[in-house]
């Protein structure tokens, strides 16, 4: 066991498969254990490199194993899949992670802290509530349209739905009861979203990184908190263009035979962050007449040459945020 330099874990809910190899890449052991057995084993095991896929429970396990002195690395599952040989099972997955981790150019995921995971959970709940509120709004609009009542687009008219129902006394009483129940659910969802927004603002007020992110033009509390939760201090990126590439805000390549062929943006990575950043860019461009500085001048010049959609994607590769330093154009 003392010859083991790399331990790979295929994570599960109850069962864990771990695979150990020496510095020459020779397999030393592979076992199936429970969560408790795995932690007890690695707590007394000599210091080595531990690699896992960045999936559910990986960040918590990474923090636990790092407290034992191990060097923990996380790999995105999409980079492990090409190394799975033939049929798939848990032990083969562990061997594939081991093979991927031994590649010298492999990119790893930075483990998240507890606060980052908590903030990420808050955002997922908020997005779920917004989807439910939109679904409820569409249901009310659809039910009324079935009875010939067309309401304007937006949530403002939904907030005064009782007055709208009072104007149409010809509606069946059972339908009015259903709409009132949906309206009460709509109000509940709106209140919960407002509470989550307040909690998000409180967490940002106590976070130096969040305040630094808020100083970026066009970035608001929601985008700043998402970036703080998912990106962290951005030490894993060499420059802002590397960050844009991780989100898919760079052209997708289809090059061969020495000929470079660039297509549309690749749309890889976190689609939620990409969506928020593009919305920030559009909000900035809508108020471009009030903006000044190098970034505003660059956007004005680009808009004379390129479509606004292209400029919105390109804009996010032209700022860099560094904790402790002032914002500067990359």
Tens digit of pLDDT for each residue in 12-22?
888 888 888 88
pLDDT of residue 318: 59
CA gap 318, 307 in Å, rounded:
17
In this predicted structure, the answer to whether residue 239 has a pLDDT above a threshold of 80 is no
Residue 57: per-residue pLDDT: 85
User: Is the pLDDT assigned to residue 207 strictly greater than 90?
Assistant: no
* pLDDT, mean of residues 70-75: 89
Q: Do 267 and 274 touch, CB atoms closer than 8 A?
A: yes
Q: Which of 67-81, 203-217, 307-321 has the highest mean pLDDT?
A: 67-81
Range in 128-142, 193-207, 236-250 with the lowest mean pLDDT? 236-250
Give the three-class secondary structure for 232.
coil
Please report the pLDDT score of residue 319 as a whole number: 54
Please, what is the average pLDDT of the chain?
83
CA 187 to chain centre: 28
Q: Which residues contact 42 (CB under 8 A, 6 or more apart)?
A: 7, 50, 65, 68, 70
Q: Which of 51-65, 136-150, 241-255 has the lowest mean pLDDT?
A: 241-255
Q: Could you give the CA distance from residue 218 to residue 195 in angstroms, rounded to a whole number?
A: 23
The highest-confidence range among 14-23, 85-94, 308-317, by mean pLDDT, is 14-23
Q: What is the mean pLDDT of residues 5-30?
A: 84
Report the distance separating Cα 11 and Cα 206, nearest Å: 34
pLDDT band at residue 162 using 50, 70 and 90 as cut-offs: confident
Q: Look at the domain 4-101 and name its fold.
A: Nucleotidyltransferase; domain 5 (3.30.420)
SS3 state of residue 27: strand
pTM: 0.77
């Amino acid at each position: 066991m003392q010859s083991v330099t790399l331990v790979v874990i295929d994570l599960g809910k109850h069962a864990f498969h771990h695979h150990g190899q020496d510095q020459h890449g020779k397999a030393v052991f592979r076992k199936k254990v429970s969560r408790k057995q795995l932690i007890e084993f690695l707590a007394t095991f000599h210091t080595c490199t531990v690699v896992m896929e960045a999936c559910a429970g990986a960040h918590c396990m990474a923090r636990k194993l790092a407290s034992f002195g191990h060097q923990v690395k996380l790999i995105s599952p999409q980079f492990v899949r090409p190394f799975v040989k033939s049929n798939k099972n848990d032990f083969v997955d562990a061997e594939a992670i081991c093979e991927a981790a031994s590649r010298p150019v492999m990119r790893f995921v930075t483990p998240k802290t507890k606060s980052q995971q908590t903030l990420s959970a808050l955002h997922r709940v908020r997005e779920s509530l917004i989807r439910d509120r939109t679904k409820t709004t569409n249901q009310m609009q659809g039910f009324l349209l079935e009875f010939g009542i067309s309401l304007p687009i937006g949530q403002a008219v939904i907030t005064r739905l009782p007055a709208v129902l009072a104007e149409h006394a010809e509606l069946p009483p059972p339908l009015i009861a259903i709409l009132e129940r949906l309206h009460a659910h709509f109000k509940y969802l709106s209140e919960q979203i407002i509470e989550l927004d307040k909690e998000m603002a409180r967490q940002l007020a106590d976070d130096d990184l969040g305040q630094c992110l808020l100083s970026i033009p066009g970035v608001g509390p929601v985008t700043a908190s998402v970036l703080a939760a998912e990106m962290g201090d951005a030490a894993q990126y060499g420059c802002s263009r590397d960050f844009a590439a991780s989100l898919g805000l760079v052209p997708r390549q289809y090059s061969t035979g020495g000929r470079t062929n660039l297509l549309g943006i690749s749309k890889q990575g976190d689609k939620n962050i990409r969506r928020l950043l593009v919305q920030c860019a559009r909000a900035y461009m809508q108020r471009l007449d009030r903006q000044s500085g190098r970034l505003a001048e660059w956007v004005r010049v680009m808009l004379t040459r390129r479509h606004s959609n292209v400029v919105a994607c390109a804009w996010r590769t032209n700022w860099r945020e560094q904790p402790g330093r002032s914002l500067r154009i990359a």
